[in-house]
C-alpha cells in the first residue's frame, strides 16, 4: 500500500472539508437571500407605479398621487453638493496623512478622530448639523446645511478609503522616484495618484449611495416634507427620495402602496446604478493593472 | 590608504534606528572613478551607508544620522536642494523596481522630473541609458511596453538605465545581482567596467567574488563597524589587516 492510499485519517479530513464547504456555502446563500427578497418585492410591487410621468412630475393631492420628480432632483442636489465638499477635502487630507505626515501623537489623534467619526450614528451628525450649520452659521434649513451635514458624515469614510487606495501603491515605487531626484509632490502626482485613482474614485462613489440613502442627517437640516417648487440654489429647502419615502409611508394617510414601493424602487435603483458604476471602474483598473 | 581629492568622504558616521545602531564611527573615503566594493554579512549597515549618501534614510521613521558626509568637499547634510543631490547619485536597489509605466517613460522619468521636455533630447537620453545598461537591443522595438512586464534580469537593467538617466557622478549598486541570473550579472559587470570611466561606483555586494572581480578597493563592514578598507588584492590576500576580514572573505563565516 502506497503512502497516497486512502486511510481513515485522510477520509476524515476529506469529510470535514466537505462539511466546512457546505456551511460556508449556506452562509453565503443566507446572505444573498434577503437582498434578493427585498429587490424582488420592490420590483413586484413598485414596478407597476413606474412611468415617465411618475418620475418627472411632482406629487399632488397631499402626496397621495402624482410623481416624485422634486424628490429625485433634491436628492441629486444633496448628493452633488455634499460630495463637492467632502471629496476634495477627504482626498487631500488622505494624501497628506498617507504621504507626508510623520508618525507623531498629532497624526495618531487625527487617525483616532477619523475612525471614531466614521462610527458616529447619523442622527448624531444630524443634531450637530442643526447646531452648527442651521443655527450657529445661520444657513437655516437649506440644501447647504443638509449637504454640509452629509459631507461631515461621508468625510471620514472617504479619507479612510482614499488612504487605503494610496497605501496599496507599493513603497518601492516611491523610493525609486525619490532616488532619481523626484520631489515628494512629483512622486505623488506622477506615480502614486495615477495608480490609485480608481480605488479613490470607488471609495467616493460608494459614498454617493450612502449620502442618497440617509434620512436622519437631512431631516432637520434641509429636507422638507413637501416643496412646491424645484430648488434654485443651495439656500432653498428641497425634497429628497429618502425623506419622501419616510413621509409617505409613515406621516401621510391613504397613500397608494404602489407609490410608496415605486419611490423605494427608484431610490434602490439609483443606489444600485451608482454601485454598478464603481464596480465597472474597479474591474477596468484590475484589467489595466500595471504591476 | 588616504585618498587625495576624495569624491565621497564619510567621517565619524553614525546611524541609529531608534536605539539600534546600524553604523558606528565609520570613516571612509572614495576616490573619483574608482569602484569601491562594500562587503559584509546581512545587517552590517551596507544599505544604510548608501541611503545616508542620497539622504533617503531620513525618510525612515526613527533613523538618526550624525557625522560628516561630503561629496566633492560639499557637506551633504547642509544641502538645501535634496533633489539636486539625488540627481548626482544613481541608486540601484537589490530587487528591480520597474515603475508602472512604459519602458521609455521609466528611463525618461528622471529627466522629465528635472524639467527636460524636449522630445528629441529625451529620446537621445533614453537610447544612451538603455545602451549603457546593455538593454537597448532587447527592447528597441517595444519601448512602449510596460516596464513591469520585462523579465527580472531585464527589469534590473532597466533600473540601471533609470539610475543613469540623470547623468549621475556616483553610481550606487545595492546587491544588484540578487535577483538575476549569472549570465546577466556578467553582462552588467562588463557594463560597470565601462561606466567607471565616467563615474565613481559604490558596489555593495554579498558575493565577495564580485567585489574581487570589480573593485579597486574593498571595504569590509561587520555589524556596523568598518573593519577594514584597502586595495582589493590586499583585502582578499593572505594578510589583510584584520583577522575577521580573512575569515569572512574565505568563507569561514558570514
Q: Which domains does chain A have, with CATH numbers?
A: 68-288 (1.10.3720.10)
d(CA B122, CA B139): 16
d(CA A102, CA A110): 12
Going by C-alpha positions, the residue among A111, A110, A142, A112 that lies closest to residue A129 is: A142
Neighbour tally for A125: CB within 10 Å? 21
Question: What are the tens digits of pLDDT across the range A178-225?
Answer: 999 999 999 999 999 999 988 899 899 889 888 998 888 898 898 888
Question: What are the tens digits of pLDDT across the range A143-167?
Answer: 999 999 999 999 999 999 999 999 9
Mutate to test the interface with B, among A102, A176, A180, A195 (most CBs of B within 10 A): A180
Which residues contact residue B144 at a Cβ distance below 8 angstroms, ignoring those fewer than 6 apart? B102, B103, B104
Question: What are the tens digits of pLDDT across the range B112-144?
Answer: 999 999 999 999 999 999 998 889 999 999 999
Question: What are the tens digits of pLDDT across the range B164-186?
Answer: 999 999 999 999 888 788 888 88
Q: Over chain A, what is the mean pLDDT?
A: 89
Going by C-alpha positions, the residue among A145, A279, A283 that lies closest to residue A209 is: A279
d(CA B105, CA B142): 12
Report yes or no: B83 at the A interface, CB cutoff 8 Å. yes
Mutate to test the interface with A, among B57, B101, B117 (most CBs of A within 10 A): B101
Report yes or no: B100 at the A interface, CB cutoff 8 Å. yes
Q: Locate the chain A residue with the closest alpha carbon to B62.
A: A103
Q: How far is A193 from chain B (nearest CA, A)?
A: 12
pLDDT at A1 over 60: no
Q: Over chain B, what is the mean pLDDT?
A: 90
Query: HSE of A117 in the Cβ direction (CA atoms, 13 Å)?
Result: 19
pLDDT at B59 over 70: yes
pLDDT at B86: 94
Q: Locate the chain A residue with the closest alpha carbon to B90.
A: A180
d(CA A26, CA A34): 13
pLDDT at A167: 94
Going by C-alpha positions, the residue among A121, A100, A70 that lies closest to residue A248 is: A70
Give me the residues paired with residue B220 across strands: B39, B228
Place of cell 460608494: A206
Q: For residues A76-90, give the mean pLDDT.
A: 94
- DSSP 3-state of B72: coil
Asked if B89 and B168 count as a contact pair (C-beta separation under 8 A), the reply is yes
Which DSSP letter does residue B69 get? E
- % of chain B beyond a pLDDT of 70: 98
Asked if B107 and B135 count as a contact pair (C-beta separation under 8 A), the reply is no
d(CA B167, CA A242): 61
* Alpha carbon A213 to its chain's center: 8
pLDDT at A13: 86
Which DSSP letter does residue A194 get? T
Q: For residues A22-29, give the mean pLDDT.
A: 94
Q: How far is A60 from chain B (nearest CA, A)?
A: 57
Query: HSE of A248 in the Cβ direction (CA atoms, 13 Å)?
Result: 28
Give me the residues paired with residue B69 across strands: B10
Cα torsion B13, B14, B15, B16 to 10°: value is -170
Neighbour tally for A59: CB within 10 Å? 25
Mutate to test the interface with B, among A173, A177, A181, A195 (most CBs of B within 10 A): A181
Q: How far is B147 from chain A (nearest CA, A)?
A: 9
> Residue A46: in which H helix or E strand, if any?
helix A8-46
Q: Locate the chain B residue with the closest alpha carbon to A183.
A: B83
Cα torsion B129, B130, B131, B132 to 10°: value is 50
d(CA B201, CA B199): 6
* Alpha carbon B204 to its chain's center: 7
pLDDT at A51: 87
Angle at A92 (CA atoms; ends A91, A96), nearest 5 degrees: 115
pLDDT at B220 over 60: yes
pLDDT at A256: 85
Q: How far is CA A55 from CA A49, A66, A263, A267, A276, in A?
A: 10, 9, 9, 11, 21
pLDDT at B37 over 80: yes
Amino acid at each position: 500500500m502506497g503512502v497516497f492510499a486512502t486511510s481513515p485519517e485522510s477520509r476524515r479530513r476529506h469529510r470535514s472539508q466537505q462539511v466546512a464547504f457546505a456551511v460556508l456555502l449556506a452562509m453565503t446563500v443566507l446572505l444573498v437571500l434577503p437582498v434578493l427578497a427585498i429587490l424582488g418585492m420592490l420590483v413586484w410591487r413598485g414596478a407597476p407605479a413606474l412611468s415617465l410621468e411618475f418620475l418627472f412630475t411632482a406629487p399632488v393631492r397631499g402626496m397621495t398621487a402624482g410623481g416624485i420628480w422634486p424628490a429625485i432632483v433634491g436628492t441629486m442636489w444633496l448628493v452633488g453638493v455634499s460630495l463637492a465638499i467632502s471629496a476634495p477635502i477627504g482626498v487631500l487630507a488622505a494624501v497628506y496623512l498617507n504621504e507626508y505626515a510623520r508618525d507623531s501623537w498629532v497624526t495618531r489623534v487625527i487617525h483616532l478622530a477619523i475612525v471614531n467619526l466614521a462610527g458616529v450614528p447619523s442622527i448624531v451628525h444630524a443634531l450637530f448639523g442643526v447646531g452648527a450649520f442651521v443655527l450657529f452659521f445661520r444657513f437655516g434649513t437649506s440644501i447647504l446645511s443638509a449637504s454640509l451635514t452629509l459631507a461631515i458624515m461621508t468625510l471620514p469614510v472617504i479619507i479612510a478609503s482614499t488612504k487605503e487606495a494610496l497605501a496599496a501603491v507599493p513603497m518601492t515605487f516611491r523610493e525609486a522616484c525619490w532616488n532619481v531626484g523626484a520631489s515628494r509632490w512629483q512622486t505623488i502626482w506622477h506615480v502614486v495618484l495615477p495608480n490609485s485613482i480608481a480605488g479613490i474614485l470607488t471609495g467616493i462613489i460608494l459614498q454617493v449611495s450612502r449620502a442618497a440613502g440617509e434620512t436622519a442627517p437631512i431631516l432637520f437640516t434641509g429636507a422638507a416634507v413637501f416643496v412646491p417648487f424645484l430648488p434654485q440654489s443651495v439656500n432653498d429647502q428641497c425634497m429628497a427620495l429618502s425623506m419622501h419615502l419616510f413621509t409617505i409611508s409613515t406621516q401621510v394617510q391613504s397613500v397608494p402602496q404602489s407609490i410608496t414601493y415605486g419611490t423605494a424602487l427608484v431610490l434602490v435603483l439609483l443606489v444600485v446604478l451608482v454601485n454598478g458604476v464603481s464596480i465597472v471602474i474597479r474591474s477596468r483598473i484590475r484589467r489595466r493593472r500595471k504591476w | 590608504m588616504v585618498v587625495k581629492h576624495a569624491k565621497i568622504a564619510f567621517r565619524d558616521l553614525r546611524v541609529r534606528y531608534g536605539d539600534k545602531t546600524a553604523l558606528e564611527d565609520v570613516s571612509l573615503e572614495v576616490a573619483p572613478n574608482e569602484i569601491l566594493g562594500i562587503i559584509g554579512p546581512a545587517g552590517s549597515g551596507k544599505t544604510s551607508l548608501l541611503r545616508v549618501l542620497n539622504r533617503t534614510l531620513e525618510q525612515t521613521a526613527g533613523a538618526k544620522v550624525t557625522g560628516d558626509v561630503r561629496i566633492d568637499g560639499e557637506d551633504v547634510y547642509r544641502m538645501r536642494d535634496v533633489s539636486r543631490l539625488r540627481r548626482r547619485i544613481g541608486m540601484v536597489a537589490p530587487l528591480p523596481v520597474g515603475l508602472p509605466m512604459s519602458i521609455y517613460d521609466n528611463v525618461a522619468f528622471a529627466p522629465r522630473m528635472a524639467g527636460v521636455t524636449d522630445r528629441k533630447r529625451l529620446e537621445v537620453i533614453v537610447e544612451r541609458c538603455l545602451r549603457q545598461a546593455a538593454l537597448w537591443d532587447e527592447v528597441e522595438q517595444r519601448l512602449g511596453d510596460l516596464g513591469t512586464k520585462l523579465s527580472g534580469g531585464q527589469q534590473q537593467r532597466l533600473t540601471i538605465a533609470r539610475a543613469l538617466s540623470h547623468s549621475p557622478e556616483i553610481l550606487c549598486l545595492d546587491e544588484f545581482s540578487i535577483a538575476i541570473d549569472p549570465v546577466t550579472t556578467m553582462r552588467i559587470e562588463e557594463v560597470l567596467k565601462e561606466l567607471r570611466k565616467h563615474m565613481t561606483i559604490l558596489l555593495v555586494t554579498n558575493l565577495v567574488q564580485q567585489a574581487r572581480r570589480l573593485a579597486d578597493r574593498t571595504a569590509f563592514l561587520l555589524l556596523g563597524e568598518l573593519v577594514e578598507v584597502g586595495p582589493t588584492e590586499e583585502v582578499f590576500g593572505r594578510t589583510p589587516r584584520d583577522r575577521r576580514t580573512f575569515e569572512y572573505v574565505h568563507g569561514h563565516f558570514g
